[in-house]
Amino acid sequence: MFKKEDGATSSETIIAGGVKVEGDFASPGDVRIEGIVIGSVKAQGNLLVTETATIEADVAAANATVAGEIKGDLTVAEKVELLSTAKLHGNLACRTLTVEAGAMIAGNCQVGAQPAPAANRSRDKVAVEA
């Protein structure tokens, strides 16, 4: 997930376990979140939310793999992978979605088309459990 095609490692930002970040967080590269983020998260590259992570923010990324918890909308340009430990409390918009058994989504899902900006989507919640 964090390799360029030529094999070189891309720019990666890590928010380690035990670290709490409050505010608007933006990265031009890949982001790995192991700690807590409150505010907003924008990654132009890939986003990895580990099992220990908690995000209370609207999140935007090119691709995302989620094993932790997100409380906010998740807008991804391409592919989202929700692992078995993932918990999403918010709306999801992406082109491709993979959900492992045990993952939880409480919100609306828009999959397949180019995602609409989070501000244009309804805030109605629907619970879906895989």
pTM: 0.79
By C-alpha distance, which of 19, 104, 61, 2 is closest to 33? 19
Q: State pLDDT tens for residues 6-38.
A: 554 557 899 999 999 999 989 999 999 999 999
Q: State pLDDT tens for residues 70-129.
A: 999 999 999 999 999 999 999 999 999 999 999 999 999 999 866 555 444 444 444 444
Question: Which tokens hold the place of 49?
Answer: 């939310």
Q: Residue 37's beta-bridge partner residues?
A: 21, 55
Distances (CA, A) of 62 to 2, 68, 77, 127, 129: 12, 18, 5, 25, 24
What does the alpha-carbon distance between residue 7 and residue 96 come to, in Å, rounded to a whole number?
Answer: 24
